[in-house]
Amino acid sequence: MKLFVGLGNPGAKYAQNRHNIGFMALDRIAQAHGFAPWRDKFQGQVSEGRLGREKIILLKPQTFMNLSGQSVGAAMRFYKIPTQDITVFHDELDLAPGKCRVKIGGGHAGHNGLRSIHQHIGPQYQRVRLGIGHPGHKDRVASYVLHDFAKADAVWLDDVLRGIVDGAPDLAIDEASRFMNAIARRLAPARSAKPAPKPQPDTPAPNATPAADRRSPLQKLKDRFS
């Protein structure tokens, strides 16, 4: 059994915020892979299902971002899931939009959701870092992450979420590279091979000089009346 956690803030006001990409990822997984309906538990919303042979608990903390660790810690203790079997999906300012990286352990880099999780279960859990880009100055970060994705982001965002759905079964069995490849394929699908050109019939080129007639006068006369 493994626990997938998506980070975000509860309520319709925040639903399309950049900060809520973790919620978006879990919603897509639940819908595409036939998970059970969401229910309230552990100060969050929980859904259960399977990815391949692996049982997965999905958790969206409803405590607001800076208290996410309370919900994660409660679910972890209830299901007796070790830290290394917890994966957290979250927005990442230090990655370009559409980029994805998977890592285990490390610091929280100022992310309030990760900071809270560190406080409750420690740092040795897996993270799926979903790039949203940086606004350019630290003073603009709070406003940036709490605003909706721009219309121009719609295409790459949908591709990333589709890739997460495709790769989720690989992530469930600790195949992080295959999971990231699934996202990369959605962002840059392989181009189909161009069909070979059809053979063209042998036709004389326009304005081509006709071949010289090498028949004898007698042969020309014979051909004329034959």
- 2-158 architecture in CATH? 3-Layer(aba) Sandwich (3.40)
Domain definitions of the chain by residue range = 2-158
Token pair recorded at residue 27 = 């919603």
- List of residues 6+ apart from 96 with CB closer than 8 A: 131, 133
Catalytic one of 19, 33, 90, 111: 19
Cα separation, 5 vs 146, whole angstroms: 19
Q: Could you read off the pLDDT of 171-189 as tens digits, one per residue?
A: 999 999 999 999 999 998 7
90 included as an active-site residue: no
Tens-binned pLDDT, residue by residue, of the chain (226 aa): 999 999 999 999 999 999 999 999 999 999 999 999 999 999 999 999 999 999 999 999 999 999 999 999 999 999 999 999 999 999 999 999 999 999 999 999 889 999 999 999 999 999 999 999 999 999 999 999 999 999 999 999 999 999 999 999 999 999 999 999 999 999 987 555 455 566 565 555 555 555 566 667 667 666 665 5
Cα separation, 160 vs 20, whole angstroms: 14
